[in-house]
Structure 1
Amino acid sequence: LEPYDFSVMDVENLRLHYARTLKDWLARFDRCADQVRRMFDEAFVRAWRLYLGGCSAAFAAGAVQLFQIVFTRPKLNTWPLTRAHLYR
């Protein structure tokens, strides 16, 4: 990428991962909702439930995307050919 001549070495769409993550966050939030209400108010709880649930649904439906992009310096020829190194 200009002006530094970076190369794009990997692009991963984390959309489905993030849909699941937000769904799990909502479940955890719901388990602690009574504690949250004591610290804040019902409007706060409703707003966060809407945010977490809405974002999860948007990612699951494909209305929102999340990409992780790896850039490297020019002429780096040692980048792994697969993502196997990420899962060791």
Structure 2
Amino acid sequence: MLKEREIRTKILRRVEKISTDKLDDIWEFLRKIEKNSRKKDDILSYAGCWKDLDKNLIDDLTINLGTKRIEEDRGGI
């Protein structure tokens, strides 16, 4: 945990020394990092959402999907 605190302190010190005209660039960079982090969290929130589904339904949505689409194209279903 000390390492994290040291890194944060170093970052703050460096930001304080940066010229005013570069602050907007740093702000945008931080916003992009936060946005990417939120995207990752949104994607990971779906992890495990299929765990309670019936195996036959999962097979229909994955393994059997190609076959079913071919049959539908041929007018079989």
Please classify the TM superposition score into its range, dividing by the shorter chain length: under 0.3
Please say which structure displays the higher CA radius of gyration.
2
The structure with the largest strand share of the pair is: 1
Q: Which has the higher helix share?
A: 2
Q: Which structure carries more relative contact order (alpha carbon 8 Å, separation 6+)?
A: 1
TM-score scaled by structure 2?
0.27
